[in-house]
């Protein structure tokens, strides 16, 4: 299969060829014709599958094929709106539009918070065809009457699950109200919760539906290992592993922003160059940390889950879970950062007694037991008693929102019966403002791609999805390739 055979114009084929793409990835093979056909699309795909070109290329083609008149003042209308959860992803998508659209003559702008708004206003005034935006900044710009969305023809929600996790649902609904009713909607999501299903049901009209596994299934390319250790000795063990094993380009995940800062500081004291990347860092600091990490001048990048979204670094050799995530799907996202592009990678988790229930949840989700190895000199105290771990704020919690301060807590080590265990507040930890813990709501059933389908036949074919009631196979554990289910191409 070639890009030309998918119905793309010579300009687009030339641009991707110059960028080194010869063969479309599975998501591209399916998404490009679906988007070109003009209908709505529901796609289950993660970063790393080539999903961005999967929607950017056919969008560019549609814009080039169907030209429209300019606004009265001669300004080109915004015809495509791409919403992303994070600044990094917005910048990355806009860069892809520039690369793939090198010969397509479509103006693209990217707007996100954390940087000055005036240059963005100036760019919008000059007129753009494709606008990539994070919801908050787009709302600000719309509130200041600097952006007109009344002529949007195509809406893309990229990483929609993360947008909902980050509490953007109200902003999304407000943005939807600013758009013309008659438009094409494309929804990309790595996971399918009840909220995504509800959003898909209200947003999409008889969507084509596609789902792909990661381009390089990490199950084969990634070694996963657990190192049991006492909670107070994790930092010491991490420094020991990095030094004795000569690790470079190590992506370390912590549960909280405060934890990320503290760990980066301590690693530097140990003589290991490290920077933290999270939502409280300025955009400049985040960009600098990422570029130093990419060029391997920085040995360790300490990140929270939210900040790590949108980071696209191929062949990352080491991912370390300094804290296990309380949302098992986050483990899959995290380890998907290593072993990409056919390279082998190593995903290490430092697990203390407080995190045993999290580990059980993860192993149930990925349907395998992760190999455990105690490092000599770091043997955990067998008599240690589990302490509660503070959870993330509830879904929808926003900065300054008092309801967001109401965090669920649970002792991972002591909870009975999995997700629902209650716990007392034992220690306070800062947290990513936008994250949430609702995925773990006791008894809440999880939806699949197929439940978002309106076709009963499709639903009948769908696998059970609650990782607890009936464990599902995560995307990364599936064989590489495409599973097409239900839906239709218009
Ligand atoms: P994405 O999932 O869109 O973030 O893409 C992940 C990575 O795959 C990016 O580094 C892209 O440049 C790369 N990529 C996308 N499509 C192709 C392709 N057809 N051939 C080779 N690499 C690709």
Residue 325 sits at the vertex; the CA angle it makes with 322 and 328, to the nearest 5 degrees, is 140
Ligand 1 atom having least distance to the Cα of 25: 19
Task: Please provide the CATH number assigned to the domain covering 222-372.
Answer: 3.40.50.300
Taking the CA atoms of residue 174, residue 178, residue 181 and residue 186 in that order, the dihedral angle to the nearest 10 degrees is -70
Quote the ligand 1 centre to 52 CA distance (angstroms).
7
CA–CA gap between residue 405 and residue 391 (Å, rounded) = 11
| Region of 99 on the Ramachandran plot (φ > 0 left; ψ -120 to 50 alpha; else beta) | alpha
Please give the structure tokens belonging to residue 427: 């220690």
- Measured distance CA(120)–CA(125) in Å, rounded: 9
| CA of 49, closest atom in ligand 1 | 2
Mutate to test the pocket of ligand 1, among 12, 45, 50, 93 (most ligand atoms within 8 A of CB): 50
Q: By alpha-carbon position, which residue is closest to atom 1 of ligand 1?
A: 50
51 CA distance to ligand 1 middle (Å): 7
What pLDDT, on a 0 to 100 scale, did the predictor assign at position 222? 74
Helix, coil or strand: residue 264: helix
Element containing residue 13 per DSSP (H, E): helix 10-18
Closest-CA residue, ligand 1 atom 8, reads 50
Residue 140's pLDDT is 96
pLDDT at 106 (0 to 100)? 93
pLDDT in tens, the chain (490 residues): 789 999 999 999 999 999 888 889 889 999 999 999 999 999 988 777 889 999 999 999 999 998 887 776 778 899 999 999 988 889 999 999 999 999 999 999 999 998 999 999 999 999 999 999 999 999 999 999 999 999 999 999 999 988 998 889 999 999 999 999 999 999 999 877 788 889 999 999 999 999 875 433 344 567 899 999 999 999 999 999 999 998 888 999 999 889 999 999 999 999 999 999 887 777 778 778 888 887 778 899 999 887 776 566 656 788 999 999 988 888 887 887 776 545 568 899 999 999 999 999 999 888 889 999 999 999 999 988 888 876 544 333 333 332 333 333 334 433 333 333 333 233 232 333 333 333 333 333 333 232 223 233 333 323 333 333 333 333 323 333 332 222 222 2
Predicted local confidence at residue 314, as pLDDT:
54
Architecture of domain 4-211: 3-Layer(aba) Sandwich (3.40)
**In the prediction, which pLDDT does 343 show?**
58
CA nearest 21: which of 41, 4, 44? Answer: 4
Asked whether the domain spanning 222-372 has the same topology as the one spanning 4-211, the reply is yes
On whether the CB atoms of residues 275 and 262 are closer than 8 A, the answer is no
Helix residue ranges per DSSP H, 101-184: 118-126, 135-143, 160-165, 169-178
Q: How many helices (H) and strands (E) does the chain have?
A: 17, 17
| Matching residue, tokens 């999880």 | 446
* CA dist., res. 220 & res. 470, Å (int): 24
Residue with CA at minimum distance from ligand 1 atom 21: 21
**Rounded Cα distance, 317 and 78, in Å:** 40
Q: In what order do the strands lie in the sheet with 300-303?
A: 274-277, 300-303, 250-253, 318-321, 345-351, 222-228, 371-372
Cross-strand partners of 347: 224, 319
Report which ligand 1 atom has the smallest distance to the Cα of 51: 3
The vertex-48 CA angle with 42 and 52, nearest 5°, equals: 50
C-alpha 392 to ligand 1 mean position (Å): 32
Is residue 245 within 8 A of residue 78, CB to CB? The reply is no
Residue 429: other Cβ atoms inside 10 A: 16
In the chain, where the domains are located:
4-211, 222-372
**Helix 51-65 × helix 26-36 angle, to 10°:** 30
> What residues contact residue 309 under an 8 Å CB cut-off, 6+ apart?
47, 85, 86, 88, 89, 159, 162, 333
Return the best residue to mutate from 1, 12, 16, 53 for the ligand 1 pocket (most ligand atoms within 8 A of CB): 53
CA-closest residue to ligand 1 atom 14: 50
Q: Which residue, 477, 485, 475, is CA-closest to 213?
A: 475
Mutate to test the pocket of ligand 1, among 52, 215, 336 (most ligand atoms within 8 A of CB): 52
pLDDT at 329: 80
CA of 54 to the centre of ligand 1 (A): 9
311 CA to centre of ligand 1 in angstroms = 13
Helix (H) or strand (E) holding 458: helix 456-461
Name which of 423, 403, 420, 399 is nearest 411 in CA terms.
Answer: 423
Residues with CB under 6 Å of ligand 1 are 21, 23-25, 28, 47-53, 312
At 371 the three-state DSSP class reads strand
């Amino acid at each position: 299969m070639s890009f030309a055979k998918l119905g793309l114009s010579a300009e687009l084929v030339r641009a991707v060829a110059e960028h080194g793409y010869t063969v479309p990835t599975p998501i591209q093979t399916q998404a490009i014709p679906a988007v070109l056909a003009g209908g709505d699309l529901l796609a289950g795909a993660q970063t790393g599958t080539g999903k961005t070109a999967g929607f950017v290329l056919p969008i560019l083609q549609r814009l080039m094929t169907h030209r429209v008149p300019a606004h009265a003042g001669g300004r080109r209308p915004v015809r495509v709106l791409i919403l992303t959860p994070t600044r990094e992803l917005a910048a990355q998508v806009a860069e892809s539009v520039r690369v793939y659209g090198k010969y397509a003559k479509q103006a693209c702008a990217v707007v996100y918070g954390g940087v000055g708004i005036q240059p963005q206003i100036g760019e919008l005034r000059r007129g753009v065809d494709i606008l990539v935006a994070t919801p908050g900044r787009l709302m600000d710009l719309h509130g200041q009457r600097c952006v007109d969305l009344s002529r949007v023809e195509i809406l893309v929600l990229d990483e929609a699950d993360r947008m909902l996790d980050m509490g953007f649902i109200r902003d999304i609904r407000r943005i939807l109200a600013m758009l013309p009713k008659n438009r094409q909607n494309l929804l990309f999501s790595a996971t399918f919760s009840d909220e995504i299903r509800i959003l898909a049901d209200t947003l999409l009209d008889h969507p084509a539906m596609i789902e792909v596994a990661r381009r390089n299934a990490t199950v084969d390319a990634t070694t996963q290992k657990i190192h049991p250790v006492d909670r107070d000795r994790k930092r010491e063990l991490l420094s020991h592993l990095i030094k004795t094993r000569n690790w470079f380009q190590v992506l370390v995940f912590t549960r909280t922003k405060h934890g990320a800062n503290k760990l980066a500081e301590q690693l530097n004291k140990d003589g290991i160059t490290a920077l933290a990347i999270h939502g409280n860092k300025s955009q400049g600091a985040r960009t600098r940390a990422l570029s130093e990490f990419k060029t391997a001048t920085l040995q360790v990048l300490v990140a929270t889950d939210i900040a790590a979204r949108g980071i696209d670094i191929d062949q990352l050799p080491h991912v370390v879970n300094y804290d296990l995530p309380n949302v098992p799907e986050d483990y899959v996202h995290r380890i998907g950062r290593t072993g990409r592009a056919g390279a082998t990678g190593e995903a290490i988790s430092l697990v203390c007694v407080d995190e045993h229930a999290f580990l059980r949840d993860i192993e149930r989700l990925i349907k395998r037991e992760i190999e455990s190895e105690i490092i000599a000199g770091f043997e955990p105290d067998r008599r240690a008693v589990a302490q509660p771990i503070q959870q993330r704020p509830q879904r929808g919690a926003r900065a300054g929102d008092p309801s967001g301060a109401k965090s669920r807590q649970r002792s991972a080590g002591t909870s009975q019966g999995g997700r629902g265990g209650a716990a007392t507040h034992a220690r306070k930890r800062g947290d990513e403002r936008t994250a949430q813990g609702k995925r773990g709501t006791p008894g809440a059933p999880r939806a699949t791609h197929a439940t978002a389908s309106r076709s009963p036949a499709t639903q009948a074919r769908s696998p059970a999805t609650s990782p607890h009631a009936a464990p599902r196979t995560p995307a990364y554990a599936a064989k590489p390739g495409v599973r097409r289910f239900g839906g239709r191409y218009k």
